């Protein structure tokens, strides 16, 4: 779902697949990553996927030698 597809009376509570891909690309090339919180309302499983994806990307970057 794109932000343009969110009905006017709804709110976005997680990042979507396009944002995940964009952020993962940036994290993959980073030498230092500072993460300042979750990507969505991760306490609710249906809104936790963006946060989980970023955690995995940051863990992968750490494995490659990035400072995190």
Cα–Cα–Cα angle for 42, 2, 16, nearest 5°?
30
Which tokens hold the place of 13?
């509570």
pTM of the model: 0.87
**Mean pLDDT in consecutive groups of 10 residues from the start of the chain, 68 residues:** 86 93 97 95 95 97 97
What is the structure's pLDDT at 3?
A: 83
Does an H or E element contain 12, and which? none
Classify residue 8 as left (phi > 0), alpha (psi -120 to 50) or beta: alpha
């Amino acid at each position: 779902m794109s932000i343009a597809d969110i009905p006017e009376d709804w709110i976005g509570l997680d990042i979507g697949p396009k944002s995940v891909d964009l952020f993962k690309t940036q994290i993959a090339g980073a030498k230092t990553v500072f993460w300042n919180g979750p990507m969505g309302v991760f306490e609710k499983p249906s809104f936790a996927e963006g946060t989980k994806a970023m955690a995995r990307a940051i863990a992968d970057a750490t494995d490659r030698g990035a400072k995190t």
